């Protein structure tokens, strides 16, 4: 009784281990459940144009930081003659080009690939941006102070205060104070930052890029990030100076979060930066593997192996499914097969040859092999010599069928070489002995059963969904093992044995 309990506990543990590992792999690495799923990748080019002054040039372009909704896959640059470095330290990452001497019009390109990733999060702020001191003329200062006082009365926190300021600045009929501020030389974004700074609210200027497929020569949109301290942490919201509500982050890439300059240029003048972008749909697994390669997440998985070895494992990992089909057909149905797991090997050959070609080739080889083997049985050879002769015979038959198929223009027939020759030789030997001992009927039963099981295993093992799941979710091997163990404990009637009770049914 204890052994029985331990057995079912083991089966349950294997099943739960496999399911939990499979679900964890999906959640942690975002591996799709189904083949054919795609992920969105944004391919963005930044073009930098400037005039070099004939002296050393240092051009530093601010590049995107890690942020919600996007994961960087790769970055590169086209800069003939320039040295290139990617600087990760400091306030924001930068791509920096350097050259000892340049003169005239210069063009530099920076490219970045971003994966649309819902699991990516913004970097947490550890401190508030510093406030700045700025001198204002008396009239501007008085007007700004009055606007701040009125907005303060109808707000409760920095975010609502910002919305109240935006209502004032974007009113259809602005007040006298608002008109005075808007007619000054300062633009509306800088004006909003100045008013918030005057109200002791921390802000940062952001350069954002609206992502739209096929857009060219785009420029960054200036936004204002407003900060507040809440529950011991720092939170922020983005605002557009030309709107009255917080900015929607959908399809919005925060490119420049340095709060300084997008491009810092030494040794040049008249610089400008423009952006072009294209949206691409890539196979989900390929995109995820590219992301995982950057993050070193798959170092101990099959995906870290060379592609040739991965292809090999794709076939090997399907064998447990074929084995489970054999166990089901033999234990539950009661089909007889020639050899325990020979149908799985035949099914693997069918995957290489295609089903129809494989069936025809297998039947031809075995039939001709049995005829020749029947002659060898009269020579009274030892087993080793007889099997060796059959192996050589099978090789010659495969060669002969391959040449005939080629000469007749049947290129599918060349795939017969994928059959496992040793297994075919043993199959012919076993069937020949079985014919001598049990007769032709038993040979047909076991041979037909083997082909039926092999065809069923072929359909399961060649199914693209099954291949995707078994290769990408290794935990399913434990699930299959648990099911095989459970089938192995079955001691009831097989379906093929129920026919013995047919006379009883007829009597009723």
* 364 and 456 share one domain: yes
**53 and 156 within one domain:** no
In 243-328 the beta strands, taken as DSSP E runs, fall at 252-256, 263-266, 268-283
Looking at the structure of the chain, the number of domains it has is: 3
Q: Hey, is 361 helix, strand or coil?
A: helix
User: What pLDDT score was predicted for residue 419?
Assistant: 63
Q: How far apart are CA 43 and CA 150, in angstroms?
A: 45
Q: Answer yes or no: do 120 and 194 share one domain.
A: no
Residues 6 or more apart from 96 whose CB is under 8 A from it? 58, 59, 60, 61, 84, 85, 86, 87
Q: Is residue 4 part of a domain?
A: no
Q: What is the pLDDT of residues 19-34, one digit of tens each?
A: 998 888 887 777 778 8
Tokens found for residue 127: 């401190």
* Cα angle, residue 254 at apex, residues 107 and 232 outer, rounded to 5°: 145
Say if CB 303 and CB 289 are below 8 A apart.
yes
- Tokens for 69? 């909704």
Question: For residue 336, what are the contacts with CB-CB under 8 A and spacing of at least 6?
Answer: 330, 445, 446, 449
Residue pLDDT, tens place only, 307-347: 666 777 777 888 889 889 988 888 888 888 877 778 888 88
Domain that holds residue 232: 38-130+204-304
Domain endpoint, select from 176, 201, 226: 201
> Considering the domain boundaries, does residue 483 fall inside one?
no
Q: What is the Cα–Cα distance from 125 to 227, expressed in whole angstroms?
A: 10
Note the pLDDT tens digit of each residue in 242-288: 888 888 888 899 998 887 889 999 999 999 999 998 888 776 666 66
Query: What is residue 248's predicted lDDT score, i.e. its pLDDT?
Result: 86
Cβ-based neighbour number of residue 499 at 10 Å:
8
CB of 372 within 8 A of CB of 382?
Answer: no
Q: Which of 201, 234, 253 is the last residue of a domain?
A: 201
Biggest distance spanned by C-alpha atoms of the chain: 120
SS3 392: helix
- Of residues 43 and 283, more confidence is placed in 43
Classify residue 12: in a domain, yes or no: no
Same-domain check for residues 141 and 53: no
Residues 67 and 139 grouped into a single domain: no
d(CA 395, CA 234) in angstroms, rounded, equals 75
Q: Are 387 and 429 in contact (CB under 8 A)?
A: yes
Residues 209 and 284 grouped into a single domain: yes
pLDDT at 142: 83
Number of C-beta neighbours around residue 482 at 10 A: 20
Tokens of 233: 């942490």
Model confidence pLDDT, tens digit, residues 405-464: 777 666 555 555 556 666 777 777 777 777 777 777 888 888 888 888 889 988 998 888
Q: Tell me, yes or no, whether 287 and 372 share the same domain.
A: no
> Are residues 389 and 451 located together in one domain of the fold?
yes
Six-digit token string for 121: 């999060």
Model confidence pLDDT, tens digit, residues 198-233: 888 889 999 999 998 888 888 899 999 999 888 778
Q: Are the C-beta atoms of 50 and 505 separated by less than 8 Å?
A: no
Are 362 and 258 in the same domain? no
Structural domain contains residue 503: no
Q: What is the pLDDT of residue 286?
A: 62
Q: Is 481 inside any structural domain? A: no
Please indicate whether residue 177 or residue 14 has the higher confidence score (pLDDT): 14
In whole angstroms, what is the distance from residue 419 CA to residue 147 CA?
85
Q: Which two tokens stand for residue 322?
A: 């074929």
Instruction: Give me the phi and psi of 261, to 5 degrees please.
Output: -115, 140
Angle formed at CA 200 by CA 194 and CA 204, multiple of 5 degrees: 55
pLDDT at 284: 65
Q: Where are the beta strands (DSSP E) in 133-260?
A: 203-210, 221-230, 233-239, 252-256
Which three-class secondary structure state does DSSP give residue 383? helix
Is pLDDT at 305 greater than 70 in this prediction?
no
User: Are 340 and 410 part of one and the same domain?
Assistant: yes
Residue 391, in any domain of the structure: yes
Q: Is residue 6 part of a domain?
A: no
pLDDT for the residue 506: 59
Residue 230, in any domain of the structure = yes
Please tell me whether residues 341 and 401 are part of one structural domain.
yes
Please tell me the distance from the alpha carbon of residue 370 to that of residue 434, in angstroms, as a whole number.
11
400 and 331 belong to one structural domain: yes
Total Cβ atoms within 10 A of residue 244: 16
Model pTM? 0.67
Dihedral angle, C-alpha 437, 439, 444, 450, nearest 10 °? -10
DSSP 122: P
As to burial, measured by CB atoms within 10 angstroms (0-12 exposed, 13-18 middle, 19+ buried), residue 376 is middle
- Reported as a single tens digit per residue, the pLDDT across 155-193 is 888 899 899 888 888 888 888 887 887 776 778 888 888
For residue 35, which of 479, 471, 435, 496 has the smallest C-alpha distance? 471
Looking at 268, 283, 304, the residue that finishes a domain is 304
């Amino acid at each position: 009784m204890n052994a029985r309990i331990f057995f079912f506990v083991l089966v349950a543990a294997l099943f739960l281990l496999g399911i939990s590992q499979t679900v964890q792999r999906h959640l942690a690495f975002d591996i799709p459940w189904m083949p054919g799923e795609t992920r969105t990748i944004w391919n963005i080019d930044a073009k930098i144009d400037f005039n070099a002054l004939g002296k050393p040039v240092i051009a530093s372009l601010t590049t995107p930081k890690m942020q919600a909704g996007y994961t960087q896959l790769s970055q590169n640059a086209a800069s003939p003659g320039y040295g290139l470095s990617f600087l990760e330290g400091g306030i924001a990452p930068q791509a920096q080009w350097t050259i000892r001497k340049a003169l005239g019009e210069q063009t530099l390109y920076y490219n970045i690939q971003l994966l649309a990733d819902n699991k990516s999060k913004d970097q947490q702020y550890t401190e508030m941006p510093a406030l700045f001191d700025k001198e204002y003329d008396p009239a501007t200062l008085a007007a700004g102070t009055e606007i701040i006082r009125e907005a303060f009365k109808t707000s409760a926190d920095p975010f609502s205060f910002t919305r109240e300021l935006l209502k004032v600045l974007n009113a259809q009929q602005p007040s006298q104070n608002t008109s005075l501020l808007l007619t000054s030389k300062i633009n509306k974004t800088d004006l909003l930052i100045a008013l918030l700074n005057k109200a002791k609210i921390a802000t940062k200027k952001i350069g954002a890029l609206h992502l739209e497929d096929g857009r060219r020569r785009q420029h960054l949109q200036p936004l204002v990030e407003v900060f507040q301290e809440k529950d011991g942490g720092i939170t922020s919201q983005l605002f557009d100076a030309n709107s009255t509500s917080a900015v929607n982050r959908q399809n919005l890439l925060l490119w420049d979060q340095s709060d300084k300059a997008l491009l810092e240029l030494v040794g040049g003048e008249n610089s400008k930066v423009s952006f072009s972008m294209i949206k691409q749909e890539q196979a989900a697994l390929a995109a995820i593997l590219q992301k995982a390669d950057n993050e070193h997440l798959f170092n101990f998985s099959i995906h870290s192996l060379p592609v040739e070895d991965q292809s090999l494992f794709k076939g090997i990992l399907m064998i447990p499914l074929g084995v489970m089909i054999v166990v089901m057909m033999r234990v539950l149905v009661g089909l007889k097969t020639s050899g325990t797991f020979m149908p799985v090997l035949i099914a693997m050959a069918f995957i290489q040859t295609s089903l129809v070609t494989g069936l025809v080739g297998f039947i031809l080889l075995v039939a001709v092999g049995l005829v020749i083997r029947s002659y060898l049985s009269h020579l009274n050879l030892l087993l080793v010599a007889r099997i060796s002769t059959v192996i050589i015979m099978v090789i010659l038959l495969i060669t002969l069928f391959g040449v005939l198929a080629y000469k007749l223009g049947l290129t599918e027939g060349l795939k017969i070489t994928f059959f496992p020759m040793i297994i075919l030789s043993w199959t012919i030997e076993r069937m020949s002995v079985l014919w001598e001992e049990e007769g032709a009927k038993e040979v047909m039963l076991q041979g037909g059963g083997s082909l039926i099981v092999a065809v069923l295993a072929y359909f399961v093992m060649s199914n693209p969904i099954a291949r995707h799941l078994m290769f990408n979710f290794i935990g399913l091997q434990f699930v299959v093992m648990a099911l095989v163990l459970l089938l192995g404990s079955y001691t009831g009637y097989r379906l093929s044995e129920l026919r013995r009770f047919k006379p009883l049914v007829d009597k009723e």
